Amino acid sequence: MSDNITLGKALNHGLRRSLEGNAKVVVMGEDVGKLGGVFRITDGLQKDFGEDRVIDTPLAEAGIVGTAVGLAIRGYRPVCEIQFDGFVYPAYNQIVTQVAKMSYRSRGKVRLPIVIRIPFAGGIGAVEHHSESPEAYFAHTPGLKVVTCSNPADAYTMIQQAIASDDPVVFFEPKRRYWEKGDVDLAADLSGAYPLHKSRVVRPGTDATVIAYGPMVRTALDAAAAAAEDGRNLEVIDLRSLSPIDYEPVYESVKRTGRAVVVHEAPGNIGLGAEIAARVTEHCFYSLEAPVLRVTGYDIPYPAARVEEEYLPDLDRVLDAVDRSFGW
């Protein structure tokens, strides 16, 4: 029995389920209480679980993550909300020097089961600092796990899996997809769920492999649908986990198709696409018909809202890259 709900609502249900299932889970962040978060992802949770478990914090991101570290040492499982991607940097010190390294520093004796939720990426017509894709900073840091969901069903299970994990997890939420609907089985438990750190083929195909994550999965699927009208059969892979990346389905796919296009909103320079291209080249060298191509944001600060459509990878840019791959 499935419900047709938005990605945002699916996250809300997932958080609720985690709060119900484990008394040590606490949600903390700016405006997460009475307001329910600026995107309403925590809507109604404080009313039902109280101010001690859904905590409106002072306006201080380093404080949110730093106190979460202490709560985790004490045995809690904090779920931190950073209000927007561009506001995570005050907490970056705590995330990189403390959250990421505590297990290593203590030789596994201190675990920090912290989830840091970050609405990320653009496409909502926002002002500066509200549309960034900082995932590479975190994926580059050993000790952190980094995931992102692309649809409501994954949002519902992945947030619960992240909270249940003893690893610190940075959980990127594709904010422009918060309102997109999909079928979610709210009654399902995690026992049979698709593993958190596995990538997934979301559209099988034979001619080229398009690798995407978060908000760009929808873009890649749209591009594949358009390509199908032209007789090209694209395979689309949703990475889901950005650290670690589950490469096996990617290699398997590229060895079949011989062509790969990586899509992300973040600037291309030193981005995840570069790492993926290097790995695919190393593992699929003799199968490649063309170099691995990237469709990414340009190497500029996120631009003003009136030009973001031109900045963001879209259906046409993905198809253009596929064309270039075939023209090689």
Partner 1 sequence: MANGESEVGADAPAGGFVQLLTPEGERVDSVTTADGTTYSVDFTDEEYRGLYRDLVTVRRLDSEALALQRQGELGLWASLLGQEAAQVGSGRALRSQDMAFPTYREHGVLYTRGIDPIMPFGLFRGVDQGGWDANEHKFNGYTIVIGAQTLHATGYAMGVTMDGKTGSPDGEAVIAYFGDGATSQGEVNEAFVWSGVFNAPIVFFCQNNQYAISEPLERQTRIPLYRRATGFGFPGVRIDGNDVLASYAVTRSALDRARQGEGPTLIEAYTYRMGAHTSSDDPTRYRIASEVESWKAKDPISRLKAFLAKQKIGDDDFFDEVDEAAKQLALDLRERVLAMPDPQPVTMFDHVYPNGSPDLDEQRRQFTDYQASFEGSGH
Binding positions for partner 1, rule: CB under 8 A:
26, 52, 57-58, 60, 62-63, 65-76, 78, 90, 93-94, 97-98, 101-111, 142-143, 145, 165-167, 244-246
Describe the chain by its helix, strand, coil percentages, rounded to 5.
40, 20, 40
For residue 66, the minimal CB distance to partner 1 (Å) is 3
DSSP codes joined into one string, 11-65: HHHHHHHHHHH-TTEEEEETT-SSS--TT-TTTTHHHHH-TTTEEEPPS-HHHHH
Structure tokens at 101: 């390294």
DSSP codes joined into one string, 124-155: S---TTSS---HHHHHTSTT-EEEE--SHHHH
C-beta neighbour count of 213 within 10 angstroms: 28
For residue 111, the minimal CB distance to partner 1 (Å) is 5
* Three-state secondary-structure class, residue 121: coil
Nearer to partner 1, 68 or 260 (CB): 68
For residue 267, the minimal CB distance to partner 1 (Å) is 24
For residue 163, the minimal CB distance to partner 1 (Å) is 14
C-beta neighbour count of 84 within 10 angstroms: 18
Nearer to partner 1, 62 or 305 (CB): 62
Nearer to partner 1, 52 or 230 (CB): 52
Please name the helix (run of DSSP H) or strand (run of DSSP E) that holds residue 275, with its range, or none: helix 272-284
Nearer to partner 1, 3 or 246 (CB): 246
Can 13 be counted among the known catalytic residues? no
Nearer to partner 1, 90 or 291 (CB): 90
Catalytic entry in 13, 130, 197, 264: 130
DSSP codes joined into one string, 59-82: S-HHHHHHHHHHHHHTT-EEEEE-
For residue 154, the minimal CB distance to partner 1 (Å) is 19
Q: Tokens 């031109």 label which residue?
A: 310
Instruction: Give the active site residues.
Output: 130
